[in-house]
Amino acid sequence: MQYVLVALVAAVVTFLVVPLVRWLAFRTNQVVQPGGRMAHLKPTPTLGGIGMLVGFAAAIGVGSLMHSFRPVFIDSSEPTGVLLAAIAITGIGVVDDVWNLSAPAKVAGQVLSASLLWIFGVTMFWFKVPFAGIVVLSNSLTPLLTAIWVIAMENAINLIDGLDGLASGIVAIASLAFGLYSLRLEALGQLPSSSIGPIIAFAVLGVCVGFLPHNWNPAKIFMGDTGAMLLGLLLAASTSVVGGRTANVSDQTFFFFAPLVIPFVILGVPMADLVFSVLRRTAHHVSFATPDKKHLHHRLMEMGHGPRRSVAILWAWTAILSAFALLPTYVSGLGFELPIAVAAVGVLLYTLFHPDLKGTHSRSGRAMQVIRRKDAGTD
């Protein structure tokens, strides 16, 4: 229940603060205009990540006052490091949303946030390579891997934040799954009660739940890079102190072989989008910072799915992947695969053969024929 309380505080505070941020964004003209790569139809304020930071800080503050969390906050620099890194990346996100930072400047800011985590000890110590053993990280290698982990997480969430409610919903589902996974490790005695990882996960869950009513289509406010990079940083912090410190849990399921693999599965949607983006831009010889409309949510829109349906489909895939990663840690045996496989097939068929898609494609085809006839007549 203490984790539920942390999530509840984060949700309530975020929900109450975001309207104030929205008012401030309007007053300072921090509004995103429609058009171009944007899917929204009217000017919408941004900087919603500021409200998310306030909600997260409130949840951590309440957690520090709870007796059951004393081992997390007594004689530990990690809570301070997480808060300082969160403030730093939020500030960088605000600057980026207002003045549009260059890609090198943004990466420098992400490295700064990762450095703060490392300085205060919020980092992985070792990780287990399946069937190869434990890899203990040296003091010289830890800062580099921390920076890579944080930058990958921040950019993955930033890239997937392309439709109303998409990023906040995916992160909420992933945070819930990872929080439950962390508690399972704690119950098995493989994660100490002093770990800050589960608290961060449930606080992020609350932040996303509190923000989502303001961000559901049509969105009243966007989280912007401010919020997307903040969520990525917090996910990186939570997963590194859990997955990077759990050496061996059990040999019953393959997910126990390498706890650090869990985040890649749970966050499979944004991670896949990140990998495809890098490969796509490398193949076209363009900068990684060059925006395009080939992300997963853009492709669903091109298929004929509307923005809400596209978001629901990607939420569903995140839930399926989360269940695939989480259930083996709670259920012994192999009986869990069948319902997950059925759900995956159902979502795939829904994605490819939704009844509305045929009509959408027909209308698109007729529109293209009209355009071609007009062009022919002009010529």
Can you spell out the DSSP letters for 128-181?
EETTTEEEEPPTTTHHHHHHHHHHHHHHHHHHH--STTHHHHHHHHHHHHHHHH
Could you tell me which of 324, 364, 365, 361 has the C-alpha nearest to residue 344?
324
Burial of residue 366, with CB atoms counted within 10 A of its CB: 0-12 exposed, 13-18 middle, 19 or more buried: exposed
> What 3-state DSSP class applies to 38?
strand
* Residue 225 marked as a ligand binder: yes
User: Residue 312 CA to chain centroid, in angstroms?
Assistant: 15
* Residue 139 marked as a ligand binder: no
Residue 235's alpha-carbon distances to 24, 50, 130, 150, in angstroms, are: 27, 17, 23, 8
Burial of residue 74, with CB atoms counted within 10 A of its CB: 0-12 exposed, 13-18 middle, 19 or more buried: exposed
Residues contributing to the annotated binding site? 158, 225
Residue ranges for the binding site for Mg(2+)? 158, 225
